[in-house]
Structure 1
Amino acid sequence: MLAALVAATGIALHHSTSEVPAVLVLATFALWAWAFSLVAVLAALRARSVLLTIVALALVGAGVIQYGPLVSPARGDDDEGVDLRVLVQNLEFGRADPVEVVRAVRDGGVDLLLTVEATPEAVDGLRAAGLVEMLPHEATDAAPQTAGVAVWSRYPLSPPERIPGFSLGVLRTDMAGPAGPVTVVAAHPVAPVFDGPTAVEEADRLRWYLGGLPGPAPVVVGGDFNATWDHARFRGLRGLGYTDSVSGGGDGWVPTWPAGRRVPPLIGIDHVLARGALSVGDTSTVRVGATDHLGVLATVRLPADRVR
């Protein structure tokens, strides 16, 4: 019975739009809570209780519906397109090893790198490590501690525009991409564990901002959202036409934090999203030293038949 209650709580948290800080934090781990439904099934079968078995199976089914989009096969796309390899990396107070970041860019064939917690020292370190040899164009707004944001690209970028109203930083730049203009946004809204009311406010503000970006140019968004698939406000971006690379590619559960600890990453809060793209997926992670976030690498397939 206790396992069923835990699983039911996880399902409720997945759908919750509460602004209570504790609820927001607990929702981060809703998937883990739902996993207790499997324990509930085993316990019910062992107890030979028909009622408990039905309840437990219903909880399992509810979770399958919730998390099905993460593992559903990506839809085939026969249209020709141009692939853009995108890497998102939280630099953790700017301490991430710049040589390893550059190596990840090289090994991943990255065309677009979006970084958060980009301090002035981190930006200088990436330049010195040779990042500009592969990604010569940059739109950076470095800042101390966690407020810096920086974008690096294989293709020309417009000057950075820092969007007001975000304590950790949201930056926009326009890229002259391989198949036409692309709007690029690097995002780092505040975490609910630090400031619940501000986290709700910034999540709503980010949704409003992203929803108001003009088309028809595709939009690529990446960063540390401090939100998982279990946060209703993050999933709400789907209603604005944005597709997360994990759900778009059927790539399953991709945890990114915490990295470099004794325990493996438990939650996926770093994301690559796209709007107006043919597809987005092929999601994987990369390990960079001296940061507690895995980088997220994904492929955004851009329409190829647009006028530059």
Structure 2
Amino acid sequence: MLAGLVAVAGIALHHSTSEIPAVLVLATFALGAWAFSLVAVLAALRARSVVLTVMAVALVGVGVVQYGPLVSPARGYDDDGIDLRVLVQNLQFGGADPVDVVRAVRDGGVDLLLAVEVTPEALERLRAAGLEEVLAYEASDAAPHAAGVAAWSRYPLSPPERVPGFSLGVLRTGMAGPGGPVTVVVAHPVAPVFDGPAAVEEADRLRWFLGGLPGPAPVVVGGDFNATWDHARFRGLRGLGYTDSVSGGGDGWVRTWPADRSVPPLIGIDHVLARGAQAVGETSAVRVRASDHLGVLATVRLPADRVR
């Protein structure tokens, strides 16, 4: 019975839009709570209770519906599309190893690097490490501690625009992509564990901002969202036409934090999203030394038949 109640709590947290800080934090672990439904099934079978077995199986079924998109096969890719390799990396207060960042860009064939927690010192170290030799175009707004955001691209970028109303930084720029214009956004909304009310406010503000970006040019968004797929406000971006790297390619959970401990990362809060793209997939994690986040590398398939 207790396992079933925990599973019910996990399902409720997955759908919760509560603004209570503790609920926002607990929602991060909704998947783990739902997994107790499997324990509930075993317990019900052992007790030979038909009612409890039916209830436990129903809880399992609800979870399968909830999490099925994360492992469902990706939809077919258009052969005429253009692949854009996107890497998202949190630099942990600017302390990430710049040489390792450049290595990750080279090894991953990255076309677009979106970074958060970019300090002025980190910006200079990345330039000195040769990042501009790989990604020649930069749109950055470096700041102390965790407030800096930046984008580097293989294709020309317009001057950066810092979006007001975000304590850790959201940056917008335009990219003259290989198939036409692309709007690029680097996002770093505040974490609910630090400030629950602000996290709700910034999540809603980010939704409003991303929903208001003009088309028909595709939009590519990446960053540390401080939210997992179990957070309803993050999943709500799909209602605005965005496909996320968690569920878009059927690659499952790509856990990114914490990456500097003796245990593997527990949760995935770094994401790539796109609107107006054919697909987002081929998602994997990338390790960069001296960062507490794994990077997220994903392929965004852009439409090719657009007028520049």
Tell me the TM-score normalized by structure 2. 0.99
| 2:160/2:172 contact within 8 Å kept | yes
The aligned residue for residue 176 of structure 2 is 176
| Aligned-residue offset at 1:12 | 0.2
The residue correspondences of 1:214-229 to structure 2 (distance < 5 A) are 214-229=214-229
Higher mean Cα deviation, 233-242 or 40-49? 40-49
The answer on whether the counterparts of 2:248 and 2:279 sit within 8 Å (CA) in structure 1 is: yes
The Cα shift of 1:123 comes to: 0.9
Q: Per the alignment, in what secondary structure is the counterpart of residue 227 of structure 2? A: coil
| Structure 1: distance between partners of 2:52 and 2:258 | 35
Paired AA for residue 218 in structure 1? P
Q: Secondary structure at the match of 2:238?
A: helix
Amino acid at match of 1:214: P
- What TM-score comes out, normalization by structure 1 length? 0.99
Supply the AA of the counterpart residue of 2:273: L
**1:100: which partner in 2?**
100
C-alpha separation between the residues in 2 aligned to 1:241 and 1:61?
Answer: 27
Q: Whole-Å Cα distance in 2 between the matches of residues 63 and 292 of structure 1?
A: 30
Instruction: Note the residue ranges of structure 2 that are not aligned, 5 or more in a row.
Output: none
What is the CA–CA distance in structure 2 between the aligned matches of 1:150 and 1:166, rounded to whole Å? 15
The correspondence of residues 108-119 of structure 1 with structure 2, limited to 5 A, is 108-119=108-119
**How far apart, in 2, do the equivalents of 1:102 and 1:52 lie?**
55
> Corresponding residue for 1:196?
196
Query: In 2, distance between residues paired with 1:302 and 1:82?
Result: 5
- 1:250-269 correspondence runs (5 A): 250-269=250-269
Residue 4 of structure 1 aligns with which residue? 4
In the other structure, the counterpart of 2:136 is: 136
Post-superposition offset of 1:77: 2.9
CA contact (8 A) 2:229 2:246 kept: no
In structure 2, distance between residues paired with 1:188 and 1:203: 10
User: How much has 1:95 moved relative to structure 2?
Assistant: 0.7
Note the alpha carbon deviations across 1:29-67, whole angstroms, 9 max, x for none.
Answer: 101111111111111112222121111111111100100
Q: Which amino acid aligns with 1:82?
A: I
Q: Which amino acid aligns with 1:21?
A: P
Deviations 1:181-218 (A, max 9, x none): 00000000000000000000000000000000000100
**CA offsets per residue over residues 59-78 of structure 1, 9 Å max, x none?**
11110010011111111133
Paired residues in the alignment total 308
Letter matched to residue 5 of structure 1: L
Q: Deviations over 1:203-240 (max 9, x none)?
A: 00000000000001000000000011111110110010
1:245: Cα distance to partner? 1.6
1:25 equivalent in structure 2: 25
Please give the root-mean-square deviation of Cα atoms over the aligned residues, in Å: 0.8
CA distance in 2, matches of 1:25, 1:109: 35
Cα distance, 1:79 vs. partner?
A: 4.8
Show the counterpart of 2:87: 87
Give a deviation string over 1:118-168, Cα, whole Å, max 9, x none: 001111111111110000100000000000001000000000000000000
In 1, the alpha carbon distance for the partners of 2:168 and 2:45 equals 49
> AA paired with 1:114?
L
CA distance in 2, matches of 1:294, 1:6: 29
Alpha-carbon distance, 1:288 to partner: 0.6
Unaligned regions of 5+ residues in structure 1, if any? Answer: none
Measure the CA separation in 2 of the matches of 1:82 and 1:65. Answer: 32
Give the counterpart letter for 2:187 in structure 1. Answer: A
> Secondary structure of the equivalent of 1:26?
helix
3-state SS of 1:246 partner: coil
Which amino acid is 1:38 matched to?
Answer: L
Secondary structure of the residue that 1:181 maps to in structure 2? Answer: strand
Matches of 1:58 and 1:193, distance apart in 2? 32
1:262, distance to aligned residue in structure 2 (A):
1.6
CA distance in 1 between counterparts of 2:258 and 2:176 reads: 34
Give the secondary structure class of the aligned counterpart of 2:247.
helix
Q: Assess if the C-alpha contact under 8 Å between 2:245 and 2:298 holds in 1.
A: yes
Give the Cα separation in 1 of the matches to 2:99 and 2:122.
11
Instruction: Tell me the equivalent position of 1:59.
Output: 59
Mapped partners of 1:180, 1:165: distance in 2: 30
Which letter maps to 1:202?
Answer: E
Aligned residue in 2 for 1:209: 209
